[in-house]
Amino acid sequence: MNTNPRLLIADDDDQIRDLLVFDIQSSGYITDSAQDGETALKKALENDYDLIILDVMMPKMNGYDVCKNIRLVKPDVPILMLTAKGSLQDKTEGFDVGADDYLVKPFEIQEVLLRTRALLRRNVKSSQSPEKEILRAGDIQILADSLEVMVLDKKAKLTPTEFEILYCLMQHLNKPVSLAVLLDEVWGYGSDEDVRMVRVHVGGLRQKIEEDSRNPKYLHTVTNVGYKLTPFGAAEEN
C-alpha cells in the first residue's frame, strides 16, 4: 500500500503547474492537478488529499472561493495558497477563508517544498494525537481528534493552524510566547515577513474563542513579544 502523501495542485498557468507537479513528484509525493477553480473544488471534495496547493487567480472560480468551499466540508486538510497578489489585504483574505499558508509569485521551488513539508508534518502530528484526547485549561478545552475548541458553552471548529497555535499556547499557560517560538513550533520555519501570517491566524482564533475579539478575555497580545493564553480569563493589558 502506497503511503506517500497525495497532493492536489491547482493553477491555470500550465508552466507553473507542470513545474510544481514535476518537482513535487520528484520529492516523493503523489500529485493530481487542476487548471481551473471548479475542477479543483470537484477533485478536492471527491478525493482525500494530504495537502492542497491553490492558485488564487483561476478561471471559473477563484482560489479564495475554492478554499472557502473546501473548508465547509473538509476543515482539516492543509491548504497552501500561491498567488501574484502579495499585499497584506490579499494575504488576510486568504487566511480568512481558511488557508494555512501563503506564498507570493514568483517563488523558489525549494520554498514551496519547505512549506509543503512543514504543513504535512504538522498535519501528521495532529492526526497522531491520542484518540479523543481532551486538553483542558480553565474555561478552554480542545478535542484533539476533531480539532474543536470549547470555551464555556461555545464550541467552534478550528483549522489545523489555529489548533496548533492554541495547542502551543496551552503548553505555556499564563506565560508570554514569542512570535519566533510560534513560528518554529507551528510552522517549523520563520522570517520577519511571516510574522504577519501569525497575527492573521491569531486574529481568526480570537474570533472563535472570544466573545469580543477586540477586548480579549483569554488570548492576549504581549507588546513586542507575542501572545499569552490565560484560560481562566484573567484581566490583562493589550
For residue range 127-155, list pLDDT tens digits in order: 544 444 567 888 888 877 677 888 988 88
Distances, alpha carbon 168 to alpha carbons 64, 176, 182, in Å: 27, 11, 7
Name which residue leads in pLDDT, 195 or 1: 195
SS3 of 161, please?
helix
Q: How many C-alpha atoms does 86 have within 13 Å on its Cβ side?
A: 8
Residue 89 has pLDDT above 80, yes or no: no
Residue 14 confidence (pLDDT): 93
Sequence-distant (≥ 6) Cβ neighbours of residue 214 within 8 angstroms: none
Sorting pLDDT into bands at 50, 70 and 90, what band is 6?
Answer: very high
Residue 126 confidence (pLDDT): 52
Q: Report cis status (omega within 30 of 0) of the bond before 216.
A: no
The CA distance from 7 to 77, in Å, is: 10
Looking at every residue in the chain, the average pLDDT score rounds to 83
Q: What is the mean pLDDT of residues 179-200?
A: 75
Q: What is the pTM of this model?
A: 0.65
Residue 56 confidence (pLDDT): 92
Sequence-distant (≥ 6) Cβ neighbours of residue 3 within 8 angstroms: none
Grid cell digits, residue 210:
472570544
**Is the separation of the CB atoms in 81 and 102 below 8 Å?**
yes
Residue-wise DSSP of 102-160: EEESS--HHHHHHHHHHHHHHHHHHHTSPTT-EEEETTEEEETTTTEEEETTEEEEPPH
Residue 234 has pLDDT above 70, yes or no: no
Percent of the residues in the chain that have a pLDDT greater than 70, as a whole number: 87
Residue 228 has pLDDT above 80, yes or no: yes
Residue 229 has pLDDT above 80, yes or no: yes
Among 172, 186, 184, 180, CA closest to 224 = 180
Sequence-distant (≥ 6) Cβ neighbours of residue 193 within 8 angstroms: none
